[in-house]
Chains A and B, each alone.
Chain A
Amino acid sequence: MAAMGSGQVGRSVRRLEGAAKVTGRAEYVHNLRLPGMLYGKIVRSTVPHGRIRSIDAAQARALAGVHGVATIEDIRKVVPEPFYGPAFHDQPILAVDKVHYVGEPVAVVLAGDPHVAEAAAQLVVADYEELPAVYDEVEAMTSAAIVHEVLKPAGTFPDLKHLQGRRGTNVALDFHLRRGDPEKGFAEADHVFEHTFRTQQVLHLPLEPFVSVAEASGGADDGRLTIHTASQSPSFVRIEIARLLGWPENRVRVKVPYLGGGFGAKLYIKLEALVAALALVVRRPVKISLTMEEQFYTLTKHASTFRIKSGVKNGRITARACEVWWNGGAYADIGPRITQKSGFTAPGPYDIDNVAIDSYSLYTNLTPAGALRGFGIPQLVFAYESHTDLMARSLGLDPVEFRRANILREGRPQATGTLMQDAAIAEVLDRLAARMNWGKPFDHGSGTIRRGRGIAIGFKASISPTTSIAIVNVAADGSCTLYCSTVDMGQGSDTANAQLVAEVLNIRAEQVTVVHPDTDVTPYDMATLGSRSLFHMGNAVRLAARDARDKIAALARELGLPEGSNVPVAELFQKKYKMQAGNIIGIGSYIPSYAPPDHATGQTPNATPYWMVGAAGAEVEVDTETGHVRVTRLVNVADVGRPINPRIVESQLSGAAIMQLGFTMQEKIEIDGGQIVNASLADYKIPSLLDIPSDMQNEAVETEQHSGPFGAKGVGESGTFGVSPAIANAIDDAVGVRLTSLPLTAETLYRALRTAANAPLEVEP
């Protein structure tokens, strides 16, 4: 639908909540205090893997002001089967018998004063019988240390059922894809290349740490729970808490105001089950706010190892084998979905006849890993785009031309067999090359300062199939309210959704009020994740607005007004109800079509409702005496369909790219014997204003996602895809040294430079 009726789509509307945010008055869960509320402080495991011998809380209980100390025995009084998770029901509300990573919640101290709870938590002593532990994802494949005795997949995913009851393995999920005949392809190729790449554990690190509050009311048969939580997935929280309690959904209410950042961390269940159970145990409101340090013990991004092998014949990639190991940590969280849903894009945006993919989700004794802005894609793109450049370099081909000759074109089958539609891979690559002045000569510098440039392109399939439902309520004065459970965690969804409503109803976006997620009020939405909301919720919102528009037209007909008479809505209500009264409720429900992949071959005709494409180009300066890299230019180009709000789209692209720049150049959770040694902002450095390139450009190519609302699709992650390999490729271009592990630190590069010069530095003690 190209017609732009009221000009609301494509307009850089100021964010609706902007004034509240710049004055410090926006509502976050951390602001919330309830009468009689207790503060919980979590006591955490000090060992990576161990059987709990005892938990001694006597001293803590004796401290003045302590209300109580809860362990899993207390939780079990209200939740007999206290295991949760989106893919596997493997994570206990508090440790049961064993701990599986350092920092795992073991007990909770409750007190009316948070300082008392904190002091008392230090007095709880847990004693463990330590067990062998495993930390590396590849070692976990064959390790004698087994993290979980038995696999416990959730019933929600039919394709995980075969894993039920599997024992003696750390492989939570294995995904396989076969297309064509890879072995024959390798045998017939002119050149075969094989490389292995690794990415590190990093942290989402939203500046608002995890926080949840629960309050209980009513008795055994009519009990109700209200959970106020900084969550990206209120509907999931409601359903999962109801399942844990054996309650109907309508007795659990989940409310979410604004989020101080999410990035994939605040999904599924984090603190919600714990505060809910505690509120039921103590019959008082309970709040738990994590510290920055505790975020390191809650959820990280998967470290990964990716072995990639390609056969090339006459400049074309004819065969590719991908083996990917994902370090899932101690609980599965959404890791198995990443293993499959992102795993199937591991061969990259290339047209390859013969493909094999083996993707493994591994349990290890580390903080659980989950989705982080890209759902596994940035890990994959780092590997396959570093590999692409190494091949081009070895074959003496221009990196852009080599990609042009091999990319997936519109209508061609991707590795799953699904045909590419509305994926502007070629256009994105062309625009990136143009912005990088790729055809022009480039000054590589001299002496100790060498310059280089690199590009990379990646793609992602949207998670599927998922549902969104929206309600548009037109009041008797014609003003309009949108009810939906999409969480605005900074991406601007309130504003974008208001623009969609306004476009359909021919009003200004600023006139639309957006009601924040409240599961007693706003309808179901799968979650705010994976750049899915603008497409899925956007479609539902557009349908709801159309439904309202149609009902307004029907009301006009009912009142005997001629077609197109354009009587103001307020007058219609007045005529109908004889006073300012009534509502018109429009409803929209959206779920895209989907065909699950064949279990043995991974083939499916319909793997995803849409594709996201993101590319990056980098120019760097390397100081060969120190290994220090300065990124002087970073160009991001993406296919986001038609931008609903160009200004917000641009800030999403640049924000995503800068976040990935941190994961590329500086961020790494340092782990020693299972212990995280840099769990603070003092030791774990995220990008500041001094870390961003002086020349940053962002572009959304002119395209349209035909199945999207007004041609739009998601944008939150696309800016992350190409950044890491573009910089690694630029470093190679500058100094002829290839780094295959993230982050690309000065130390790593300096060591590599010395090794390349046949004067390696001593290995660290």
Chain B
Amino acid sequence: MKRTIHFTLNGAPVEAEVAPHWNLVELLQREFDLFGARESCAQGLCGCCTVMVNGAAVSGCLYLAVFADGAEVVSIEHLPDGKLDPVQEAFLECGAFQCGFCTPGFVLMARELLRAHPDPDEEEIRHYLAGNLCRCAAYPQIVEAVKLAARNMLKAHDGKDQ
């Protein structure tokens, strides 16, 4: 028994027919060919399925698709292919990933971290990102990348103020 929902996906209004048991990851994959949010642990513990809903990070594997009705949904693919945000640039620069499977989740959470704490210290970074797991353990490089992104974003911001 599918139901039609309407929501905003990466800035564009969309609609989809969803089954009541689908989660948000399935919705993005099945209906929109977006594979950056991935189901891994299926318990909301690894962060691979991170999606932004109404400005807050959710575990896409535990978030029922029908709840996206009327919401603003942002996935890792929100920028056009070929464009990178400062966090993604910093991840590239620092080599803050290996297999890349967890990377979208880390990028989205790091972006949230920098929105809330533009100049985080090491402890803040570690605690904020503790809900994202990386089995390749690129953790030292991830911390480095978040610090670099913070520096670059502050610099850009200062530039704008002048």
Chain A residues in the interface with B (C-beta under 8 A): 12, 14-15, 17-26, 28, 30-31, 115, 205-209, 258-263, 291-292, 489-492, 647-648, 651, 654-659, 680-682, 686-690, 692, 694, 696
Residue of A with least CB distance to B80: A23
Residue of B with least CB distance to A687: B137
Contact across chains for A490 and B136 when beta carbons are under 8 A apart: yes
Contact across chains for A24 and B99 when beta carbons are under 8 A apart: no
Supposing A14-B93, A28-B35 touch, asked if A681 and B46 sit within 8 A by C-beta, the answer is yes
Please tell me which one of the listed residues B21, B37, B45, B140 contacts residue A24 in the complex, with CB atoms under 8 A apart.
B37
Residue of B with least CB distance to A114: B26
Query: Could you pull out 14 A-B pairs where Cβ atoms are within 8 angstroms?
Result: A22-B88, A22-B107, A24-B75, A258-B99, A260-B100, A651-B138, A654-B140, A659-B135, A680-B41, A682-B43, A688-B131, A688-B133, A690-B127, A696-B140
Residue of A with least CB distance to B129: A689
CB distance from A551 to the nearest CB of B (A): 34
Please tell me which one of the listed residues B21, B95, B104, B107 contacts residue A647 in the complex, with CB atoms under 8 A apart.
B95
Q: Which 9 residue pairs spanning A and B have beta carbons closest together?
A: A24-B36, A260-B101, A490-B99, A21-B100, A490-B98, A658-B137, A24-B76, A681-B41, A24-B104
Query: Which residues 115-158 of B sit at the A interface, judged by CB distance below 8 A?
Result: 122, 125-127, 129-143
Bound-state CA distance A25–B101 (Å) is: 10
Please tell me which one of the listed residues B36, B91, B98, B143 contacts residue A492 in the complex, with CB atoms under 8 A apart.
B98
Bound-state CA distance A688–B104 (Å) is: 16
**Which of chain B's residues have a CB closer than 8 A to the CB of A682?**
41, 43, 45
Bound-state CA distance A19–B93 (Å) is: 10
User: For the complex, would chain A's binding face be called helix, strand, loop or mixed by DSSP majority?
Assistant: loop
User: For the complex, would chain B's binding face be called helix, strand, loop or mixed by DSSP majority?
Assistant: loop
Size category, B interface: 35 or more
Supposing A490-B100, A681-B133 touch, asked if A689 and B92 sit within 8 A by C-beta, the answer is no
Asked if B40 lies at the interface with its beta carbon under 8 angstroms from chain A, I say yes
CB distance from B58 to the nearest CB of A (A): 16
Please tell me which one of the listed residues A261, A291, A648, A687 contacts residue B101 in the complex, with CB atoms under 8 A apart.
A261
Contact across chains for B99 and A208 when beta carbons are under 8 A apart: yes
CB distance from A632 to the nearest CB of B (A): 14
Supposing A208-B101, A681-B41, A681-B45 touch, asked if A22 and B139 sit within 8 A by C-beta, the answer is no
Bound-state CA distance A208–B125 (Å) is: 25
Bound-state CA distance A492–B131 (Å) is: 25
**Which of chain A's residues have a CB closer than 8 A to the CB of B21?**
115
**Which of chain A's residues have a CB closer than 8 A to the CB of B136?**
261, 490, 655
Asked if B14 lies at the interface with its beta carbon under 8 angstroms from chain A, I say no
Contact across chains for A263 and B36 when beta carbons are under 8 A apart: no
CB distance from B159 to the nearest CB of A (A): 24
Asked if B77 lies at the interface with its beta carbon under 8 angstroms from chain A, I say yes
Contact across chains for A292 and B84 when beta carbons are under 8 A apart: no
Bound-state CA distance A26–B29 (Å) is: 14
Supposing A207-B99, A680-B43 touch, asked if A23 and B88 sit within 8 A by C-beta, the answer is yes
**Inter-chain pairs besides A490-B99, A680-B43, 11 sampled, C-beta below 8 Å:** A18-B95, A19-B84, A21-B103, A22-B103, A23-B36, A115-B19, A208-B40, A261-B101, A490-B97, A651-B95, A692-B140
Bound-state CA distance A115–B129 (Å) is: 31
Contact across chains for B38 and A651 when beta carbons are under 8 A apart: no
Asked if B42 lies at the interface with its beta carbon under 8 angstroms from chain A, I say yes
Bound-state CA distance A271–B60 (Å) is: 26
CB distance from B121 to the nearest CB of A (A): 12
0/1 string, B21-39, CB within 8 A of A gives 1: 1000000010000111110
CB distance from A171 to the nearest CB of B (A): 33
Asked if B102 lies at the interface with its beta carbon under 8 angstroms from chain A, I say yes
Please tell me which one of the listed residues A19, A489, A681, A687 contacts residue B92 in the complex, with CB atoms under 8 A apart.
A19
Supposing A687-B137, A689-B139 touch, asked if A489 and B43 sit within 8 A by C-beta, the answer is no
Supposing A17-B100, A26-B100 touch, asked if A207 and B36 sit within 8 A by C-beta, the answer is no
Asked if B81 lies at the interface with its beta carbon under 8 angstroms from chain A, I say yes
**Which of chain A's residues have a CB closer than 8 A to the CB of B45?**
681-682
**Which of chain A's residues have a CB closer than 8 A to the CB of B127?**
689-690
